[in-house]
């Protein structure tokens, strides 16, 4: 019974560390870009979009599709960087255990 209680305690401690990391990831700002920095996207460490910045030269009413593509690439770039940051943080908790961890947007 003592082993079960010890395992339960360790699980609760790990859950607390996971919650702390999630909170820390929410506070991060990770930047992705496209078009040589003409479109920049900021996301949190959990991948939530915070801000989009557009260079005025990419705002062309005659070519909205290009702008849409650049925004998509910039957001995707930022989210991939956030995924890598989250995996790095989770690796610190799991002590190098190869546990799968995927953010919901990835």
Which pTM was predicted?
Answer: 0.74
Q: Are 81 and 98 in contact (CB under 8 A)?
A: no
DSSP E strands, the chain: 30-34, 39-43, 49-54
Enumerate domains of the chain plus CATH numbers.
2-94 (3.30.1310.10)
Q: What is the 3-state composition of the chain as percent helix, strand, coil, each rounded to the nearest 5?
A: 60, 15, 25
pLDDT at 4: 83
Judge whether residue 106 has pLDDT over 70: no
pLDDT at 87: 87
7-24 per-position pLDDT tens digit: 888 888 888 888 888 888
43-102 per-position pLDDT tens digit: 999 999 999 999 999 999 999 999 999 999 999 999 999 999 888 888 777 665 555 555
Who has greater pLDDT, 5 or 69? 69
Q: Are 52 and 7 in contact (CB under 8 A)?
A: no
């Amino acid at each position: 019974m003592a082993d079960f209680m010890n395992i339960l305690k360790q699980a609760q401690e790990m859950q607390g560390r996971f919650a702390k990391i999630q909170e820390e990831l929410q506070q991060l700002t990770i930047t992705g870009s496209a078009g040589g920095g003409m479109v920049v996207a900021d996301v949190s460490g959990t991948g939530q979009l915070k801000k989009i910045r557009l260079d005025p030269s990419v705002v062309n009413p005659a070519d909205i599709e290009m702008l849409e593509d650049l925004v998509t690439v910039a957001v995707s770039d930022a989210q991939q960087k956030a995924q890598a940051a989250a995996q790095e943080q989770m690796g610190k908790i799991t002590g190098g255990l190869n546990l799968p961890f995927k953010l919901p947007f990835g």
